[in-house]
Structure 1
Amino acid sequence: MKTAEIRRRYLQFFADRGHTVVPSASLVSPDPSLLFTVAGMVPFIPYLNGTVPAPYPRAVDSQKCIRTLDIEEVGRTPRHGTFFQMLGNWSFGDYFKRDAITWAWELLTSREEDGGLGFDPKDLWVTVFLDDDEAESIWRDEVGLPADRIQRLGYADNYWMTGQPGPAGPDSEIFFDRGPAYGADGGPATGDDRYVEIWNLVFMQYAITNIRSKEDFDVVGELPNKNVDTGMGLERVAFIKQGVENIYETDQIRPVIDKASELAGKAYGAVHEDDVRMRVVSDHVRSAMMLMLDGVTPSNEGRGYVLRRLLRRSVRAMRLLGVDGPTFGELFPVSRDAMADAYPELLPEFGRIQRLANAEEESFLRTLVGGENLLDTAIARTRAAGASEVAGDTAFLLHDTYGFPIDLTLEVAEEAGLTVDRGAFDRLMQEQRSRAKADAKSRKTALADLSVYSDFRAKGETTFLGYTDLVTDSRVLGLIRGGVAVDRIALGDIAEVILAETTLYAEAGGQDADQGEIVGPGYRLEVLDVQRPVAGLISHKVQVAHGEVAVGDPAETVVDPVYRRGATQAHSATHLIHAALRQVLGPDAHQAGSYNKAGYMRLDFSWSAPLSPETRSEVEDVANSRVNEDLEVVTRVLPIDEARAAGAMALFGEKYGDVVRMVDIGGPWSRELCGGIHVAHSSEIGLINVVGESSVGATSRRIESLVGPEAFKQFATERALVTELGANLRVPPAQIVSRVQDLAASLKAAEKRIAEFERQALATRVPALAAQARTVGGVTAVLEQVGDLAASDDLRNLVTDVRDRLGAAPAVVALAAAVNARPVVIVATNAAARDGGAKAGALAKRAATALGGGGGGRDDVAQGGGTDVAAIGDALDAVAQGLAS
């Protein structure tokens, strides 16, 4: 049975039983404590913990997930995958254990021809929590599962909680027995790979607090509304139903293995380590492709770093399979074809995905060459020191800074007859992981603070009236100060205000929050920020400027009209720049993030090369021509499927509901899903002045513009500058460029003449310096300070000229000067001196130590420097001592 068919049957089964079919959320998690959607429950957390009322009593979905904690296990076990799909059915205070258990059993064991999955009941085992008599009774008495195939396990295995105060409860897990060929008998309690968990049913029935460990916490009581959270691993069920050995050999993943095998010229199934590498490639290529589909781009931090790691591990695995050149151009299309039936949105976005993958692969292949050069140097140093082990901090530097994988370091070192201090490397890696975990824990703790909004959100959504009005009457529903709900706030307090209605725009979709105030009888609040802490709720961060306010008081929200006008101009300009980029560069130039406020906008977009001045001007011209056309800006609220069918662009990583707001500027030319505030006609934008275009990563660019009055001010400033330049140069504005070019050419010629004069002047000093030669430690030495020089190259030329004048007898020259107010010493030796043991690098290092800096270099010429000009005499004395010793 194909993976897509398993998914279809699951969704249909629960849809037939009154469940709302919910589309998969993005892999980019809305939870600030998570980089990714790591489990099927993540999108439903606000409903499960009661922060936001559930919009439906029961739901079913197939959720895309990414987990990287077990990334080292990928390819080595039959079930660990980075990207996976979790099938789930959910009850929010509706049905509970009996229906959840009996439906799961019905779907699993019903015949395929009747729409079920066709599992043989004798192959299934179940675990329940050790105190959950109710669940065991349902499995035994209603489902009819033999008691000897129901096992009770403890908190570690069959109890669910988030680790934070809130909902918790027992769970029941369903396992498939792969048979005696895969391990010992004894059921899931053995922990053996013979028993594969395929379904987990979580029963959230308790509220807990004071969590000391997974097994030690206080139960507050039963939840008023009990929830069901279930998950069935799609890949796990697929590999069982398809009769293969692991998830990597299923129909959505195996084609990439076959392509990797073909490219490497190695048969899959012949050598275990090669098989592991092919499975890593198949998993990581698919995972990276799905992350890029949801808008993640490679970078050195956060989600982008995880994506970069997946791509680089794929390159590394192919390299270890013997393929040194690029392979993504052949691997990614295979993964696309395998996944397109389930995710048809891959097809229109694949060009962008392939371009990102190719750019990252090319970059990493260059990195590998550079890393090998660094490693070769480290190996040479290790050998020169008579050691047999490359330092662990060197291996960690290669891994962490240069992206050079540890197993390649091990391989190259082994080929050189050396080992690597793996213990030191592992300690440094563990320290890095500990720092990352501490950071993740701090983010998770921050999430717990959202519970303060639960009671306010339960009263309903905040009504936003700002699309049409700047002022509205409302009332104070709640006040939060220091993270705690309070009854009133007074003069000078900084707090959050929850209102029933507001006209103040909360920061979202790249648009900054409105400026304004909230006023009422006897009080005035300055608005500092406006945010949506949980879905449907708007919170106003304020400072009390006058009086005091209490819960229940009337309130009037007042938007600053000047700021609002500037913000709408900037947001609409962002849409025009995005559409202009796509018109000029093509559809691959897709928005990857934006920010706009009154007078300013920036937009990040997928592109790997800098824009030429001509291209940048063309984008600006296209956008401004649309401003001049006075295009009507039309907003419509409609079902998301209709919007997508009309060609509306959705931003990667944004969460959209079933009903969306679509903004057209010039019809389909600029058509995006957007909740922001816009002008009514494009002419109201006024002017767009592109002031910057830069890189924000190997595959992303950023374009910045001033908008409206701010754009005009910038042009006015530049006009005044041009006028002043023209007056100073005594030429009309049209001739300024040619006049500046003439002046630059004249200046360059003058600098060249000056340099020649200075070189000749220095050459005249050579005889006098050579005459200062004296014998030190058996060599002829010139150790002198020569004053101030413009460049260290001048000093180097002087040193080598003096050395050459001293002839073939052993000679050392060390001259010191102040170059740009910093001390520099350059040492040169001739062949006879070097044969006698005088090394310029060692002598320069001694001099630099005296100067409070560092130095070194080759045996014939070397340089040192520091910070203390007054110590130049000491530095030359140090050279003399080095010669004498």
Structure 2
Amino acid sequence: MQTAEIRRRFLAHFEAAGHTVVPSAPLLLEDPNLLFVNAGMVPFKPYFLGQETPPYGTATSVQKCVRTLDIEEVGKTTRHGTFFQMNGNFSFGQYFKEGAITHAWRLVTGHVDDGGLGFDAEKVWVTVLEGDHESRELWRSVAGLPDERIQDRDLNDNYWHMGVPGPGGPCSEIYIDRGPEFGPDGGPVVDEDRFLEIWNLVFMQEEITNVRAKDQFDVVGPLPSQNIDTGMGLERVAYLLQGKQNLYETDEVFPVIERASQLTGRTYGANHVDDVRFRVVADHVRSGLMLMGDGVTPGNEARGYVLRRLLRRAVRSMRLLGYEDPALPELLPVSLDRMKASYPELEADFPRIEQVAYAEEDAFRSTLGKGTQIFDVAAQKVKADGGTGLSGEAAFTLHDTYGFPIDLTLEMAQEQGLSVDADGFRALMAEQKARAKADAKAKKGVHADTHAYRAALDANGPTDWQAYTTLSTESRVLALLSQGEAVPALTAGSIGEVVLDRTPFYAESGGQNADAGTLTWSGHGGGTAEVLDVQRPIKGLVVHQVRVLEGELVVDEQLSADVDPEWRLGARQAHSGTHVVHAALREVLGPTALQSGSYNRPGYLRLDFGWSGALSPEQLHDVEHVSNRALREDLPVSAQYMTLPEAREWGALALFGETYGEEVRVVEIGGPWSRELCGGTHVDRSSQIGTVVVTSDGSVGAGNRRIEALTGLEGFAYLAKERDLVLQLTDVLKARPEEVPTRVNDLLARLKATEKELEKLKAAELQGAAGDVAAAAVDVDGVAVVTHRAEGVGGGDVRSLALDVRGRLQDRAAVVVVVGTANDRPSVVVALTPAAQERGLAANALVGVVGERIGGKGGGKPDVAQGGGTDVAGIDAAFAAVLDAVRVAVGR
């Protein structure tokens, strides 16, 4: 059974049971705690946490997921991948344990012809939380499982919570016995390779707090409502139903391995080392495809960095398999061909996806070329010095500076008869990871090994920071850094860090992006550097990350440091706009609507604030109105320095739970109307913000909302687009702008009325046609056979017509076959009277006869079956085949 078919059956099963089918959320679902969606329940978290009211009582989905904790481990085992799909069904107080167990059992063991997955009930084992007698009894009564196939497990295995205070509850896991060839008997408590988990049913029933470990927490009490959250691993079910050994051999993954094998001339299954590389290729190509499909592009930070690593590891693995030509153009289309059945949007967006992917591979191939030259030089030096091994530091430099994978370094060293200090390399990598974690937490730039920064500060004193007073300074280069180490020069094309004696550049802080601009010098032949980022890695020191565009920058160089004035103006407008929106929120919602975080860049701002529940359209309108009223009033903007106690006494708001020094900067707009502790850059008067256009409001966690807005020219551009849209509508509708909503509502109402009338007419037409269709029956050895082609009819209408015709022939043995041709795709329904079934005929057999001729298949019961296909040209042949099949069956 194909993966896409398993997915379809899962959704159809729960839709038939009354669940709302919810499309997969994007992998980049906005959640402050997640890089990517990593579980099927993530989109439903606001409902389970009580932050939002669910729009449905029950739901089902197949959610795209990505987990990236151990990318280096992918392929070393066959059980886990980076991208996976999680089938789930969810209940928000509608049903509980009995419902969840009943739904799961019917799908897992249901007959394939009836839409089930067809697992042998005798091979199903389950686990329950020890002491959960209710679940044990339900598995006995609902599924008929014997006690020996229901095993108890402790809190570590069979209790679910999110690791923080909130909902929790016991869970019950469903396992399939793969057979003695996979391990010893005794159920999942003995061996989880032989007994493979496919589905986890979580029974959310209590609120927990004081979470200390997976099995250590305190129960506050029962939840207001009992909820269900389940997760079925689609890939695991697929390889079980496809008779494969692991997820890498399934229909959505293995074709990439097959193509990689053709390209490299290597055979999958020949040896473990190559198998790991094949699996890395297959997993990373598919994961990269899905990430790019959801809008991720390769980069050096966060999500972009994950994608870059995936694509480059795939390319690297192909190289280690012996294939040195561009690999992604050969592999990505194969993955697309397998994934588009479930995600057709990938095909429409593939031109963009392949452009991004192939450019990334080209860049990496160039990196590999440079790295190879550097390696050759290092290897020659080792040999000239009489050595036998490459140092860990040299391997680390190749990896960190040139992006050269350690696997490739090891392979090339072996070819030259050299060893590599792998332990030294891993130690340096561990140090870098520790620095990276500290860097992410403290926002200290790309390389946060503070010894180099501390040395620069000790030698030269604090930076003379003039961002509040000027956009340009004449400055001297005090230190240059590359990869966290002091260097004498930065050459054209390189990226490094620059410490100046004075600077006009704003260093990122308080949610405001760093300034953009240039460094320009005339000494040593002159040159220019683009300022990419500005940070404060340690107190008192401002560090500029730059890309040298031309020339060479050396220590002690005199240069001009110039902030891009347009950038700074946009940043000032956005940051002052953030304060204005914050004050407007408190005016509209009350003083408890306090800012909890913010981010602003030129023309854009977002502000997180404490609030439960979505803002109404009227509230959002009021926030925007109050903000723009403040701009029209041209309020003065000023900054004053004072002690923290003085600022608090003055009523200034201290935000984010930050640690402040004794002296603080208080920015006020319109006096007490907006008074906040802030180190950002601001306009001189509120009117200079230009405009505030609120564009969105959403939830970002328990009790927190996020509002987004545009300022300045970006805000006006947004309004201009809306104006143009209204003008287009007024032209199409021949109405004045204020009449557009009424006209659109009228058109929608008329459209709905027309659709209803058309449905009535179609139903009447089909009903009227049923008599003529029945009258056209052909007698085949005493069986009335109706074969009818319903042009332009599809879905439920085909079924209705077939059943209506059968009803007119109930007094005799009759076979009714109706094929609809809506959208040039045939859909078939076969309906038999009881007398026809007594003659040995079955609808589910005849629908297969039709399916073979129209490029499809079908299924159902002996009395009624249905299916579909792709080839309308085969309909006549299908009808002829039905007549032959009936003739053979009844003529026995």
Q: Name 2:76's counterpart in structure 1.
A: 76
Give 1:21 shift: 0.6
Give 1:96 shift: 1.0
Give the aligned CA root-mean-square deviation in angstroms.
4.4
Quick one: which of 471, 479, 486 aligns to 2:592? 479
Structure 2: which 5+ residue stretches go unaligned?
Answer: 444-583, 598-607, 632-649, 657-666, 676-684, 696-707, 731-736, 749-892
2:260 alignment partner, SS class? helix
2:219 alignment partner, SS class? strand
Opposite residue 328 of structure 1, the aligned amino acid is L
1:326 alignment partner, SS class? coil
> Contact 1:566–1:598 (CA<8 Å) still a contact in 2?
yes
Q: Name 1:232's counterpart in structure 2.
A: 232
1:153/1:394 Cα in 2 relative to 1: closer, same or farther (>3 Å)? farther
> Contact 1:125–1:149 (CA<8 Å) still a contact in 2?
yes
Q: Which stretch shows the higher mean deviation, 144-153 or 104-113?
A: 144-153
Opposite residue 285 of structure 2, the aligned amino acid is V
Between the aligned partners of 2:275 and 2:56, the Cα distance in structure 1 is: 45
Q: Name 1:88's counterpart in structure 2.
A: 88
Between the aligned partners of 2:628 and 2:434, the Cα distance in structure 1 is: 41
Residue identity over aligned pairs, in percent, reads 51
Q: Name 1:782's counterpart in structure 2.
A: none
Does 2:246 correspond to 1:246? yes
> Contact 2:691–2:715 (CA<8 Å) still a contact in 1?
no
Between the aligned partners of 2:284 and 2:741, the Cα distance in structure 1 is: 40
Structure 1: which 5+ residue stretches go unaligned?
Answer: 444-470, 485-493, 519-524, 532-540, 550-559, 572-593, 604-622, 643-885
> Contact 1:473–1:501 (CA<8 Å) still a contact in 2?
no
1:502/1:125 Cα in 2 relative to 1: closer, same or farther (>3 Å)? closer
Q: Name 1:597's counterpart in structure 2.
A: 711
Deviations 1:725-761 (A, max 9, x none): xxxxxxxxxxxxxxxxxxxxxxxxxxxxxxxxxxxxx
Q: Name 2:123's counterpart in structure 1.
A: 123
1:336 alignment partner, SS class? helix
Q: Name 2:273's counterpart in structure 1.
A: 273
1:117 alignment partner, SS class? coil
Does 2:58 correspond to 1:58? yes
Q: Name 2:136's counterpart in structure 1.
A: 136
2:275 alignment partner, SS class? helix
Between the aligned partners of 2:709 and 2:413, the Cα distance in structure 1 is: 48
> Contact 2:203–2:227 (CA<8 Å) still a contact in 1?
yes
> Contact 2:25–2:43 (CA<8 Å) still a contact in 1?
yes
Between the aligned partners of 1:147 and 1:140, the Cα distance in structure 2 is: 7
2:217 alignment partner, SS class? strand
Opposite residue 292 of structure 2, the aligned amino acid is M
1:401 alignment partner, SS class? helix
Q: Name 1:198's counterpart in structure 2.
A: 198
> Contact 1:171–1:203 (CA<8 Å) still a contact in 2?
yes
2:256 alignment partner, SS class? helix
Does 2:421 correspond to 1:307? no
Q: Which stretch shows the higher mean deviation, 189-198 or 473-482?
A: 473-482
Q: Name 2:881's counterpart in structure 1.
A: none
- What are the residue-to-residue correspondences of 1:696-715 with 2, within 5 Å? none
Give 1:300 shift: 0.9
1:190 alignment partner, SS class? coil
Higher relative contact order (CA 8 A, sep 6+): 1
- Equivalences, count: 536
Opposite residue 71 of structure 2, the aligned amino acid is I
Opposite residue 98 of structure 1, the aligned amino acid is E
- What are the residue-to-residue correspondences of 1:429-444 with 2, within 5 Å? 429-434=429-434
Opposite residue 289 of structure 1, the aligned amino acid is L
> Contact 2:390–2:418 (CA<8 Å) still a contact in 1?
yes
Opposite residue 81 of structure 1, the aligned amino acid is G
Q: Which stretch shows the higher mean deviation, 100-109 or 209-218?
A: 209-218
Give 1:43 shift: 0.9
Opposite residue 104 of structure 1, the aligned amino acid is A
Opposite residue 290 of structure 2, the aligned amino acid is M
Between the aligned partners of 2:621 and 2:300, the Cα distance in structure 1 is: 30
Give 1:104 shift: 0.6
Q: Which stretch shows the higher mean deviation, 55-64 or 431-440?
A: 431-440
1:188 alignment partner, SS class? coil
1:599 alignment partner, SS class? helix
Between the aligned partners of 2:22 and 2:13, the Cα distance in structure 1 is: 14
> Contact 1:477–1:500 (CA<8 Å) still a contact in 2?
no
Opposite residue 112 of structure 1, the aligned amino acid is V
Q: Name 2:383's counterpart in structure 1.
A: 383
2:142 alignment partner, SS class? helix
Give 1:99 shift: 0.9
Q: Name 1:399's counterpart in structure 2.
A: 399
Deviations 1:810-852 (A, max 9, x none): xxxxxxxxxxxxxxxxxxxxxxxxxxxxxxxxxxxxxxxxxxx
Deviations 1:42-72 (A, max 9, x none): 1111111111122211110010011122323
> Contact 2:586–2:594 (CA<8 Å) still a contact in 1?
no
1:235/1:548 Cα in 2 relative to 1: closer, same or farther (>3 Å)? closer
2:430 alignment partner, SS class? helix
Between the aligned partners of 1:95 and 1:442, the Cα distance in structure 2 is: 46
Give 1:496 shift: 6.0
Between the aligned partners of 1:502 and 1:369, the Cα distance in structure 2 is: 56
2:77 alignment partner, SS class? coil
Q: Name 2:21's counterpart in structure 1.
A: 21
2:349 alignment partner, SS class? helix
Opposite residue 592 of structure 2, the aligned amino acid is L
> Contact 1:35–1:302 (CA<8 Å) still a contact in 2?
yes
Between the aligned partners of 1:495 and 1:131, the Cα distance in structure 2 is: 42
> Contact 1:514–1:530 (CA<8 Å) still a contact in 2?
no
TM-score where L is the length of structure 1: 0.55
Between the aligned partners of 1:303 and 1:189, the Cα distance in structure 2 is: 37
1:197/1:516 Cα in 2 relative to 1: closer, same or farther (>3 Å)? farther
Between the aligned partners of 1:513 and 1:391, the Cα distance in structure 2 is: 64
- What are the residue-to-residue correspondences of 1:95-244 with 2, within 5 Å? 95-244=95-244
Does 2:4 correspond to 1:4? yes
Q: Name 1:345's counterpart in structure 2.
A: 345
Deviations 1:295-341 (A, max 9, x none): 00001111011001110011011101110110211211111111111
2:592 alignment partner, SS class? strand
> Contact 1:526–1:543 (CA<8 Å) still a contact in 2?
no
Deviations 1:425-472 (A, max 9, x none): 2233334445566788999xxxxxxxxxxxxxxxxxxxxxxxxxxx99
Between the aligned partners of 1:322 and 1:252, the Cα distance in structure 2 is: 24
Between the aligned partners of 2:327 and 2:627, the Cα distance in structure 1 is: 49
Between the aligned partners of 2:431 and 2:130, the Cα distance in structure 1 is: 37
Q: Name 1:48's counterpart in structure 2.
A: 48
Between the aligned partners of 2:324 and 2:348, the Cα distance in structure 1 is: 30
Q: Name 1:428's counterpart in structure 2.
A: 428
1:543/1:20 Cα in 2 relative to 1: closer, same or farther (>3 Å)? farther
Give 1:348 shift: 1.3
Between the aligned partners of 2:741 and 2:324, the Cα distance in structure 1 is: 52
Between the aligned partners of 2:224 and 2:77, the Cα distance in structure 1 is: 41
- What are the residue-to-residue correspondences of 1:784-863 with 2, within 5 Å? none
Q: Name 2:542's counterpart in structure 1.
A: none
Does 2:413 correspond to 1:413? yes
Opposite residue 598 of structure 1, the aligned amino acid is G
> Contact 2:595–2:655 (CA<8 Å) still a contact in 1?
no
Q: Name 2:320's counterpart in structure 1.
A: 320
1:502/1:542 Cα in 2 relative to 1: closer, same or farther (>3 Å)? farther
Between the aligned partners of 1:282 and 1:500, the Cα distance in structure 2 is: 45
Give 1:29 shift: 2.8
Between the aligned partners of 2:422 and 2:625, the Cα distance in structure 1 is: 49
> Contact 1:515–1:527 (CA<8 Å) still a contact in 2?
no
Give 1:409 shift: 1.2
Between the aligned partners of 2:429 and 2:324, the Cα distance in structure 1 is: 27
Between the aligned partners of 1:602 and 1:293, the Cα distance in structure 2 is: 31
Between the aligned partners of 2:408 and 2:321, the Cα distance in structure 1 is: 12
Between the aligned partners of 1:60 and 1:239, the Cα distance in structure 2 is: 22
Between the aligned partners of 2:626 and 2:80, the Cα distance in structure 1 is: 43
Give 1:284 shift: 1.0
- What are the residue-to-residue correspondences of 1:648-687 with 2, within 5 Å? none
Between the aligned partners of 1:506 and 1:34, the Cα distance in structure 2 is: 31
1:251/1:65 Cα in 2 relative to 1: closer, same or farther (>3 Å)? same
Between the aligned partners of 2:12 and 2:725, the Cα distance in structure 1 is: 51
Give 1:483 shift: 6.6
Does 2:364 correspond to 1:364? yes
> Contact 1:526–1:544 (CA<8 Å) still a contact in 2?
no
